[in-house]
Amino acid sequence: MEQDMAGAARVVALGNDGDGIAETLAGRIFVPGAIPGDTVQPGPVQATHAVLERVITPSPDRVTPPCALFGQCGGCRVQQMALPALLAWKAGRVTEALQRAGFATIPTPATVQVAPQERRRVDLAFRREGRRIVLGLHRRRGDVVDMTACTLLDPTLFALLAPLRDMLHSLPGVHAGGDLQINLLDSGPDLLITMDGTPDANDRRILAQFSKAHGIPRISLGGTPPETLALNGPVFHHFDGVRVTPPPGAFLQPARRGEDAIRAAVLAALPTKGLKAGIIELYAGCGTLSFALATHAKVLAYEGDRAALACLKQASGGTRVLPALRDLNRQPVMAAELAKAAAVVLDPPHAGAGAQMAQIVAGKPRHVIYVSCNPTALQRDLTPLQQLGYRLERLTVIDQFLWSTEVEAVCVLKLPGTGKNHRR
């Protein structure tokens, strides 16, 4: 039902999706494009949302969006908000999640924010439109917007988009379109293409030529498992000085500075005593944290993805990393094993730790270091730890998804007491 709004409305908060929350006589409404501190004129309300007709008085934190595609491309929700204010809002989201989890005392978060043009991982869509390829991100609940500008991407990746359009247009295996994931590894861009046709010899020839011409070591075809279509040199990346060969489409933190901040926060949280018992790392991936942790103690690194585990295992020779294949939701590491660890480090997927969290709760390891990419899952997973008496010792908030609503956090938890006294 549509409802007309009359008069100005004060925007008092930002919702989890990045829409302004405005106070009106009819109650609170969401106004996309508005930010806290704005006084706005909202348009007609449909359900709980209204169009922003105009900003009457701008917030002190309102800025001119730096990208010409803002408002069209779905990649950035809040470019109209100054970055320091956006970082403070993200830190507030994490703090509020921890408060809802029951923590009465929350340390002031250390905060890190990456710079523009540091994004080294991107998932794009491409579509044929007449005689051209449109390559970019989907507009909010809409079609693909051609990424002719970007304030986020590393310049190396952005420079690749124009020749990619021409190359994709020439592929016989691309009918209507597909998807493209790019990771900027230390060896160069690593491409994973999903197309709606079956690649033939011509596709492979074109891809091999493109790979060689643009210094791309590997181009792979999406599938289970992915298939290498073009190989033009070694594929490698480094984690804490250890060289690994990530599989196609491997998880990579979106910015190197963000990855460094997460690693530093995790290492700073390790206990100073008792490390001979070893560290248990859950959701280890290709070793983003594993090799750094191994400079302090033996690391039993669990990972459920076979390709990531193979990468980790191949690189772990001569280190104190002991990789193990485990679907942690179907077959979690059990409480008795977790209880013996000097520290449990976990970096779960967006949905959270699932069944694995119940075993952590049952095991009561004294030190838990939780890396979060989702405040909602963070609240759900840490609530039972708070109820057990865990204290939140340290908090780091990392913004490596500029101008979006996504936020990373490293939470350091400790269960007071020693030895048998803390496992009643």
If asked whether residues 284 and 334 sit together in one domain, one would say yes
Residue 28 has pLDDT above 70, yes or no: yes
73 lies in a domain? no
75 lies in a domain? no
Burial (Cβ within 10 Å: 0-12, 13-18, ≥19) of residue 387 = exposed
Average pLDDT for 188-217: 97
CA angle 73, 75, 80 (to 5 degrees): 85
Domain boundary among 224, 244, 264: 244
222 lies in a domain? yes
Tokens of 277: 């018992």
| pLDDT tens by residue, 299-339 | 999 999 999 999 999 999 999 999 999 999 999 999 999 99
If asked whether residues 373 and 226 sit together in one domain, one would say no
Average pLDDT for 9-30: 92
CATH of the domain at 18: 2.40.50.140
Kindly report which listed range (22-31, 108-117, 369-378, 401-410) carries the lowest average pLDDT score: 22-31
| pLDDT tens by residue, 137-168 | 988 777 999 999 999 999 999 999 999 999 99
Question: What pLDDT score was predicted for residue 275?
Answer: 96
Secondary structure (DSSP) of 15-29? -TTS-EEEEETTEEE
253 known ligand binder: yes
Question: What pLDDT score was predicted for residue 422?
Answer: 42
Question: What pLDDT score was predicted for residue 160?
Answer: 98
Domain boundary among 179, 214, 244: 244
189 lies in a domain? yes
394 lies in a domain? yes
Residues 6+ apart with CB under 8 A from 296: 267, 270, 275, 279
User: pLDDT higher for 190 or 73?
Assistant: 190
Query: In sequence order, what are the beta bridge partners of 300?
Result: 280, 322
If asked whether residues 225 and 374 sit together in one domain, one would say no
Residue pair 135/161 in contact (Cβ under 8 Å)? The answer is: yes
Q: Could you give the number of structural domains in the chain?
A: 3
If asked whether residues 262 and 341 sit together in one domain, one would say yes
Question: What pLDDT score was predicted for residue 3?
Answer: 47
Residue 370 has pLDDT above 80, yes or no: yes
If asked whether residues 283 and 355 sit together in one domain, one would say yes
If asked whether residues 239 and 271 sit together in one domain, one would say no
Average pLDDT for 108-121: 98
Question: What pLDDT score was predicted for residue 25?
Answer: 81
Query: In sequence order, what are the beta bridge partners of 340?
Result: none
Tokens of 332: 């979690």
327 known ligand binder: no
Average pLDDT for 387-410: 97
78 lies in a domain? no
Residues spanned by the domain of 149: 121-244
> Strands 2-3, 110-113: parallel, antiparallel or unpaired by DSSP?
unpaired
64 lies in a domain? no
Residue in the block written with tokens 């998807």: 179
Q: How far apart are the first and last CA of the chain?
A: 56
Q: What rounded mean pLDDT belongs to the chain?
A: 94
393: Cα separation from own chain's centroid: 24
23 known ligand binder: no
If asked whether residues 264 and 406 sit together in one domain, one would say yes
Share of the chain above pLDDT 70, in %: 97
If asked whether residues 225 and 340 sit together in one domain, one would say no
Closest CA to 280 of 93, 270, 272: 270
Residues 6+ apart with CB under 8 A from 388: 361, 364, 415
If asked whether residues 219 and 334 sit together in one domain, one would say no
Question: What pLDDT score was predicted for residue 321?
Answer: 98
CATH of the domain at 235: 2.40.50.1070
Average pLDDT for 398-413: 97
Residues 6+ apart with CB under 8 A from 81: 14, 35, 59, 61, 62, 63, 89, 403
Secondary structure (DSSP) of 204-228? HHHHHHHHHHTT-SEEEE-SSS-EE
Catalytic annotation, residues = 373
What is the band of 132 on the pLDDT scale with cuts at 50, 70, 90?
Answer: very high
If asked whether residues 297 and 411 sit together in one domain, one would say yes
Domain boundary among 40, 57, 74: 57
Average pLDDT for 9-34: 92
Residue 417 has pLDDT above 90, yes or no: no
109 lies in a domain? yes
If asked whether residues 214 and 306 sit together in one domain, one would say no
Closest CA to 365 of 329, 328, 338: 338
Kindly report which listed range (127-141, 186-200, 211-225) carries the lowest average pLDDT score: 127-141
If asked whether residues 270 and 409 sit together in one domain, one would say yes
| pLDDT tens by residue, 216-245 | 999 999 999 999 999 999 999 999 999 999
